[in-house]
């Protein structure tokens, strides 16, 4: 009887080892799929940046290429911002944000920020381990929600979603080592005139919250009311005044 029990125990142990291993493999292969008809490699959106209504610089959002990261295909996207020659005399800005966005699931794998404003200098990198649900930011590990976005990838994820007037969407995001709940409300449909043309656009309000409290001033984003959902205008209120990005040129 004892020998029979030992055989049953070994069989059960072997079953759980094999079953556990198969579960791990299954979990690693079951990534979400997000249908993306909004953007592809080669898209380049150029903006005029205005401060208090005065043109003070330019910004470019670009989907540059597909790269391999964590063994998966990812979009390498950038947002670069620079002040104009005139504003350079007072406060020179040269900012670059880089994001690596999973091609299939539209979530972030890595973000880099290189910020240059006046004498201010900052270089930061956050690596997202989506399998372990942890982020590494300045040698510190942080627990993150599943399929978390960074500040730039959240815009691209939003563009893939079906949006209509009255909708409200919550996006889990992480920025500079802190987790946020980003609420996007679709307020209505408006006509927006930009240097690149006239658009029928979805007006959205974007609110970043941390631990249930509003973290920063809300911003508004107007997305073209079509499959691409191009951000044709972005407006943010701050203590220094209103900052506006208006689409100047779009290349696909």
Report residue 142's pLDDT band, with 50, 70 and 90 as the boundaries. Answer: very high
pLDDT digit string, tens, across residues 81-122: 999 999 999 999 999 999 999 999 999 999 999 999 999 999
CA distance 5 to 127: 48
Tokens 């330019």 found at? 58
Tokens found for residue 25? 């493999």
Report residue 19's pLDDT band, with 50, 70 and 90 as the boundaries. Answer: very low
Looking at per-residue confidence, does 35 or 8 come out higher?
Answer: 35
- Residues in contact with 210: Cβ distance below 8 Å, sequence separation at least 6, in sequence order: 178, 179, 180, 181
Whether the per-residue pLDDT at 173 is higher than 80: the answer is: yes
Tokens found for residue 239? 């203590």
Nearest to 46 by CA among 245, 248, 252, 251: 248
Nearest to 64 by CA among 53, 76, 72, 74: 76
The CATH code belonging to domain 31-251 is: 2.40.360
Nearest to 46 by CA among 36, 59, 55: 59
- Mean pLDDT across the chain, nearest whole number? 89
pTM over 0.75: yes
- Residues in contact with 116: Cβ distance below 8 Å, sequence separation at least 6, in sequence order: 92, 93, 94, 95
Taking the mean position of all CA atoms in its chain, how far away is CA 196?
24
The answer to whether the CB of 93 falls within 8 A of the CB of 117 is yes
Nearest to 47 by CA among 187, 201, 166, 195: 195
Give the pLDDT mean for 30-43: 96
């Amino acid at each position: 009887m004892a020998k029979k029990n030992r055989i049953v125990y070994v069989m059960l142990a072997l079953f759980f080892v094999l079953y556990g291993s198969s579960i791990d493999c299954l979990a690693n292969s079951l990534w979400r799929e997000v249908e993306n008809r909004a953007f592809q490699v080669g898209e380049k959106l150029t903006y005029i940046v205005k401060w208090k209504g005065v043109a003070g610089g330019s910004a470019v959002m670009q989907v540059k290429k597909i790269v391999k990261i964590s063994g998966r295909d990812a979009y390498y996207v950038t947002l670069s911002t620079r002040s104009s020659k005139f504003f350079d005399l007072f406060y020179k800005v040269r900012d670059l944000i880089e994001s690596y966005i999973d091609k299939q699931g539209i979530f972030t794998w890595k973000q880099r920020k290189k910020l240059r404003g006046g004498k201010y200098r900052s270089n930061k990198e956050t690596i997202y381990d989506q399998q372990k649900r942890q982020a590494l930011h300045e040698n510190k590990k942080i627990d993150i929600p599943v399929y978390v976005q960074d500040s730039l990838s959240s815009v691209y994820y939003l563009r893939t979603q079906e949006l209509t007037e009255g909708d409200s969407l919550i996006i889990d995001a992480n920025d500079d080592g802190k987790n946020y709940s980003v609420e996007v409300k679709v307020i209505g449909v408006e006509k927006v005139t930009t240097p690149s043309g006239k658009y029928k656009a979805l007006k959205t309000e974007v609110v970043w919250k941390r631990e249930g409290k509003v973290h920063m001033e809300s911003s508004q984003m107007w997305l073209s009311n079509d499959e691409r959902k191009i951000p044709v205008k972005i407006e943010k209120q701050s203590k220094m005044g209103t900052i506006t990005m208006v689409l100047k040129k779009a290349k696909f």
